[in-house]
Structure 1
Amino acid sequence: MDEKVRKEKEKRKECLINKLLALKVYKKDDKHLYDLSLQELEQEFNKRVDKAHPHSDMGSLHWINKKGS
C-alpha cells in the first residue's frame, strides 16, 4: 500500500477514535476502538451521529419560497 494512503487512513482512524471517545464510546462488541478497522469505526460513528441528529430520519429540511403567496 502506498505510504501516503496508509498515513491518511491512520490519521482518519485516530480522528474517528477521538470523536467516539468524546461521545463516551469506548468499545464495540467487546473490542477496543483501536482494534477496529477504519470501516467499522466509520459505521459506529455514523450510527452514533444519526441517533443524535434531530433530523436524521427525515433527511435535510429545505425552505421553499413561493412567489405570490
Structure 2
Amino acid sequence: MSRLLRGMLEKRKQYWIEQLIASGMYKKEEKHLFEWTTSELEKGYHFVRKTEK
C-alpha cells in the first residue's frame, strides 16, 4: 500500500476515533477504539448518532 494511501486511512481512522470519544465512547467489550478497524469505527459512530436522536 502506498504511503499516501496509508496516511489517508490513518487520518480517517483518527477522525472516527475523535468523533466517538466526543460522543462518550472509549471502548466496547474490552476493545479500545484504537484496536478497531476503520469500518468498525465508522459503523460505531453511525450507531451512536442514531441512538442519540
How does the TM-score come out when normalised to structure 1?
0.70
Distance (whole Å) between structure 2 residues aligned to residue 17 and residue 9 of structure 1: 12
Q: Percent identity?
A: 34
In the TM superposition, residue 40 of structure 1 has moved relative to its aligned partner by: 0.6
Query: SS state of the match for residue 25, structure 1?
Result: coil
1:50 is the counterpart of 2:22: no
Q: Greater RCO between the two (CA within 8 Å, min separation 6)?
A: 2
- Structure 1 or 2, whichever has the larger Rg, is 1
Moved over 3 A (4+): none
More helix as a share of residues? 2
Equivalence map 1:14-29=2 (5 Å): 14-29=14-29
For structure 1, the residue ranges without an aligned partner over 5 or more in a row are: 54-69
Aligned-CA RMSD value: 1.0
Task: Tell me the matched-pair count.
Answer: 53
1:29, distance to aligned residue in structure 2 (A): 2.1
Task: Give ranges in structure 2 of 5+ residues lacking alignment.
Answer: none
Q: What is the TM-score when the length of structure 2 is the normalising length?
A: 0.89
